[in-house]
Amino acid sequence: MRTHSKETQSSLTPAMALEILKEGNERFMNNLKANRNLLQQVNETAAGQFPFATILSCIDSRTSAELIFDQGLGDIFSIRIAGNILNEDILGSMEFATKIMKTKIILVLGHSRCGAIVGACNHVEMGNLTGLLKKIEPAINKETSTQNNRSGDNIEFVNNVTELNVLHTIERIRNESPIIMELEKEGLIKIVGGMYNVESGKVSFLAS
């Protein structure tokens, strides 16, 4: 599999970019890696990069975007932070990745058994982590279906919050970045949410 060029990148639609991610995760799950020479890709990308996707995922060691979507060098702008939360700098990175570098899709990817979400559900406070986990609180407040045991021990509650956190992040991207909102309105990009299952390796895409 070759690295994307300016031509292959510009011929992609947002729907095709989503399809590439789906196919890549399918290969990953079936242990069918695309034939890719990473060292050759170093050469191919030395003079410039034409990635097709921007992915915001968790720092979790099991959720490396390039691996779970079977992509190579020069394919993905990978933004990683605990709990795949959003802040101004991340939004700035997304604006660079879409408006300037022309990636076709933004994927916000949460995952099962996320320590950051569990921590937020347990209202953990520790150093600088306190402020980060606070950013997950709106998703906890949006979870209204669980009455009892609204804590990190309740896997169903945690999973609901994880999904709501992805949707909340997408809502914030749209509300807080007129640049990205405009690109989406013009049909130049798509913003989608997904959930990665650390037990199966499968990414399920959310309706957003």
Residues contributing to the site for Zn ion (CB under 5 A)? 58, 60, 114, 116
Residue 71 burial (CB count, 10 A): 26
Q: Cβ closer to Zn ion: 114 or 191?
A: 114
Distance CA 85, CA 188 (A): 24
Distance CA 21, CA 145 (A): 31
* Distance of closest approach, residue 104 Cβ to Zn ion, in angstroms: 25
* Distance of closest approach, residue 55 Cβ to Zn ion, in angstroms: 14
Q: Cβ closer to Zn ion: 24 or 83?
A: 83
Q: Cβ closer to Zn ion: 12 or 108?
A: 108
Tokens encoding 6: 């300016």
* Distance of closest approach, residue 115 Cβ to Zn ion, in angstroms: 6
* Distance of closest approach, residue 172 Cβ to Zn ion, in angstroms: 18
Coil, strand or helix: which one is 110? strand
Distance CA 114, CA 132 (A): 14
Tokens encoding 134: 């606070």
Q: Cβ closer to Zn ion: 14 or 119?
A: 119
